Structures are given as C-alpha cells and as structure tokens.
RNA sequence: GCCCCCAUCGUCUAGGGGACUAGGACGUGGCCCUUUCAAGGCCAAGACCGGGGUUCGAAUCCCCGUGGGGGCACCA
C-alpha cells in the first residue's frame, strides 16, 4: 500500500485512498518508483479490546483508529512496528510502561495479533505528576525551587546529595505499596516483595519532602565509616581538608542532623576551617550585654585552659559550674561559646565539638570572641 | 474538538459489600526531652468529588455528571 501525495489541511487521519488498491497495482506503482509508505490495515468496523493487567479490558471503536504508518517512505519502520518486533524477538513476557502509551496500546496489540504472535502481559503504570499535581512531571525539568520541582533524573538526584537507597525507596512507594504500614524497603526487599497486584493505576504527584524524610532515615541508618565515605567528597569540593579520623569523629555528631549529604559541610565546615568569623552581635549571650558576655567568655577561657583534658565528662561539668557561679543559665553560656567556637548559631553538640577541635584552637577562638565582645563595650 | 485512563486527608497511600468511629506515612500545629539545631516520644487537626441506582447493607458494584491526567507525527 502506498500513499498519494496529498496536501489536505490538518487531516485528522488518513483517508484510506489506497487501502482498496489491488496488491498487484500497489506493487507495480512501487516498482515505477512512486513514493510510498506501508500502513496497518485497521479493521474499519467493530471494536478492539485489549487487556491491561491493572485496568482490565479496554475497548475502543475501530473507527477511532487510524491506518497507522508502519514503514516510512524511507523504508525504515516507525517505533510502533520496531518495538513490537523487537519485543517478540526477545521473548518479552511483560511490558511495563507509562500510561502515556495507553492511546497506542490498541495498535500495538493489533500488530501482535496480525503476526499471530503471543501477546505479552501489558502493564501501564501511572505517570508522575508535578508536586502541585498539575501536569506530568517533565523529564527535562531543571531544578526549580520556586515550583517545588527539583529533578527526577537519578543523576540529578545524586547531584542533589540524595542517597540511592533513599531514592529507590521513595520511588518504589509512588504507585505501589506493600501493605498499610510498611514504609522502608531496601532493593532486596523490593525484589522479594514487589507484586503487580499492588500497583496503583492513578497518577501520583511527586513529594520531595518525603524524599528528604527517607534520605534522613537512610543517613541515620548508615554505619559511621560509610557515612564518612559518603560525605567526604562534599568537603573536598568545598575546599576543606578533612582527614578520615576527623570525619569519623564528627560523623556521630552530625548524623542525625543532616537530611542531605551536602548539609554536612554547612553544619560541620567549621571543624576544618582555620578561623571562624562569628557575628559580633550574635556573640552576645541571651539577655546579656557585651560586658557580661565578654566576662563569661573570659572566665570560660580560664576554666577550659585549666582542665587537663577536653573530655566532655570533664569539660561539661566545669562549664556548668561556671554558669552557676556567673549566675547565668548553662544555655546562655553555651550560646556564647557556640558562636565563639563554631561561628554558628546552630551547630552539633558544643562540648563534643570542642573536643574534636582541640584545646588550642578552642582557646584561640574564645580569645578572638572576647576581643569582638570587648570592642562592643 | 475527538479518544483513552484515573478519582480516599494538602501529598503518597491502606481499603476490593458488613471488620470504618475510614488505618499508616510525609508535611503541619502543640507538648515532652534538651546547651542550639536535629533526632526521639506523645497528642491534635485533616479525606471517601457530586448525584442517581443495585443491595437488608456501600469508600468498595453500576450509570451519569464533575474534576484531574494522558494521547491525537513518515518522534519515541
């Protein structure tokens, strides 16, 4: 069968001009070099029923179907033909694909039937929608915090410092569930527990906050040395020289505080910087003025300097005693020291952090803070 | 416009005629713990899209609306 050159305005479908040509005429016109394509001779009446594992039988009027092109005028097959032949030749038993393929599903089944091939089991999965639930999640969508859209490509997700196991778990639970309460699945669990019956045919909006949650769960579940291995690259990228011993020391301090791996640098970068630069105003203790704060810092310096070790079991009681002596709360005192030592208002546990940083550097940083405070008096 | 698919808390979902006062998770709010932030514990608010049927009985089955999604190439 071949197609005449026609230039109708937006024909909804092929008008079947050449459908009734005798094969011998088609053949001779092809031999004369006439441009042609090969189409599927779709039944002109009746209905076609195809079966999807999740959606049951789907019936369409054959009149709604076109005589689809199978071989293009350049002789190459279109996807519809090529993929079906390929699947058959490879002995594919189950075809799992996105529901956007539903409209061409009848054609695909018809091709199998025309060849008298055994049809595979067809499963049309639900599509992922944007976080807003409006529109299909675009594969090419770039990271866009405004719309809540980040990325869906695994490489992008990795770039965003998500753990592969968290991503797997997250995606597995979109459009599929195991029961009414189990949420954590390793790849091995999924291999064992996955079943077609529990697949959900309705579209699902992606929920990145749930990915964050899973990521936190998996980070907390990591053995310490593994956590070190995973966060190390982010320190390197940030230009911070972090030894494994040091990273191993801080890992327990940050493990339950980070939701993505790159946050390790933001929360713990101060461990590896030569100096910290606390904001002078933030250095003030809660409800305290510069003079009181400077005095507290000064006394802390003396107390810490006097200790034989940076062991938290020794430092913490000493500092608590000091707070009592200064008639301020431990929270007030720790607040000042936190800024002084870490340069941050939010940090890993202070006393433990000081131990990792070491006495010399801690005292240096406190001295620096005292200067900043005294300048404000 | 035409065709197809889908429809339970804001989101992901459990549910497949009575077990539903509709369960879990994320998120949100509150409380506890606490040197900050987290983590953890406890509590709370929060849904069966609407209307008709079927049935002794519907979140569950059927129909019609409505809404959402997808597709209408000599791309894949």
Q: How far is the CA of A14 from the C1' of B16 (A)?
A: 43
Q: Which residues pair with A59 in a beta bridge?
A: A49
DSSP E strand stretches across A111-201: 121-125, 128-129
Average pLDDT, chain A: 91
Phi, psi of A190 (to 5 degrees): -65, -40
Would the pTM count as exceeding 0.80?
Answer: yes
CB A222 within 7 Å, strand B: no
Q: Which nucleotides of B are covered by protein (CB under 7 A)?
A: 1-8, 10-16, 23-27, 35-40, 68-76
Cα A131-A136-A84 angle, rounded to 5 deg: 140
Max Cα–Cα distance, chain A, nearest Å:
108
The answer to whether A207 and A231 have CB atoms below 8 angstroms apart is no
In eight-state DSSP terms, residue A198 is G
Q: How far apart are CA A164 and CA A168, in angstroms?
A: 6
Q: Looking at residues A304-309, what average pLDDT do you find?
A: 96
- State pLDDT tens for residues A316-362: 999 999 999 999 999 999 999 999 999 999 999 999 999 999 999 99
Q: How far apart are CA A200 and CA A54, in angstroms?
A: 8
The pLDDT-based confidence of A5 (bands split at 50, 70, 90) is very low
The pLDDT-based confidence of A143 (bands split at 50, 70, 90) is low
Which residue is closest, via its CA, to the C1' of B70?
A100
Which residue is closest, via its CA, to the C1' of B26?
A210
Please state the ipTM of this predicted complex.
0.93
> Closest nucleotide to residue A82 (Cα to C1')?
B76
CB A330 within 7 Å, strand B: yes
Q: Looking at residues A84-110, what average pLDDT do you find?
A: 96
The DSSP line for A65-107 is: S---EEE-TTSPBPHHHHHHHHHHHTT--EEEEEGGGGGGHHH
- Please report how the helices A312-326 and A290-306 are oriented relative to each other, as an axis angle in degrees rounded to 10: 140
CB A78 within 7 Å, strand B: yes
Q: Looking at residues A270-279, what average pLDDT do you find?
A: 93
Contacting residues for A87 by C-beta, under 8 A, at least 6 apart: A95, A120
Catalytic annotation present for A150: no
Q: Are strands A47-52 and A56-61 parallel, antiparallel or unpaired?
A: antiparallel
**Lowest mean pLDDT segment, chosen from A3-17, A224-238, A315-329:** A3-17
Cα separations in angstroms, A373 against A38, A102, A288, A338: 85, 69, 11, 14
In a 3-state reduction of DSSP, which class is residue A57?
strand
The answer to whether A93 and A169 have CB atoms below 8 angstroms apart is no
CB A60 within 7 Å, strand B: yes
pLDDT at residue A254 tops 60: yes
Candidate list A134, A139, A150, A158, residue with the active-site label: A139
CB A351 within 7 Å, strand B: yes
């Amino acid at each position: 069968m071949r197609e005449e050159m026609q230039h109708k305005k937006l024909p909804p479908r092929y008008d079947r001009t050449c459908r009734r040509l005798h094969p011998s005429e088609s053949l001779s016109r092809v031999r004369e070099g006439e441009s042609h394509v090969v189409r599927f001779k779709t039944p002109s009446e009746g209905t076609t029923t195809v079966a999807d594992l999740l959606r049951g039988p789907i019936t369409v009027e054959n009149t709604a179907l076109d005589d689809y092109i199978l071989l293009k005028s350049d002789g190459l097959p279109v996807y519809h033909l090529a993929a079906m032949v390929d699947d058959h030749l490879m002995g594919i038993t189950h075809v799992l694909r996105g529901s956007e393929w539903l409209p061409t599903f009848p054609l695909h089944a018809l091709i199998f039937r025309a060849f008298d091939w055994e049809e595979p089991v067809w499963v049309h999965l639900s599509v992922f929608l944007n976080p807003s639930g409006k529109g299909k999640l675009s594969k090419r969508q770039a990271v866009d915090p405004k719309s809540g859209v980040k990325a869906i490509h695994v490489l992008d997700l990795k770039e965003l410092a998500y753990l592969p196991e968290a991503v797997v778990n997250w995606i597995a639970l979109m459009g599929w569930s195991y029961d009414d309460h189990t949420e954590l699945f390793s790849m091995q669990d999924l291999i064992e527990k996955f079943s077609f019956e529990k697949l959900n045919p309705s579209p699902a909006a992606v929920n990145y906050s749930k990915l964050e949650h899973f990521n936190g769960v998996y980070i907390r579940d990591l053995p310490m040395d593994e956590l070190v291995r995973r966060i190390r690259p982010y320190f390197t990228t940030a230009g911070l020289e972090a030894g494994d011993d040091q990273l191993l020391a801080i890992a327990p301090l940050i493990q339950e505080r980070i939701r993505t791996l790159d946050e390790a640098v933001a929360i713990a970068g101060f461990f590896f910087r030569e100096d910290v630069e606390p904001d002078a105003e933030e250095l003030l203790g809660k409800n305290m003025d510069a003079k009181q704060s400077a005095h507290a810092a000064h006394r802390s310096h003396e107390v810490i300097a006097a200790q034989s070790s940076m062991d938290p079991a020794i430092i913490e009681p000493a500092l608590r005693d000091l707070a009592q002596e200064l008639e301020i709360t431990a929270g007030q005192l720790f607040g000042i020291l936190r800024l002084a030592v870490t340069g941050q208002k939010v940090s890993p546990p202070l006393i433990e952090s000081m131990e990792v940083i070491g006495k010399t550097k801690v005292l240096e940083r406190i001295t620096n803070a005292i200067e900043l405070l005294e300048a404000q008096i």
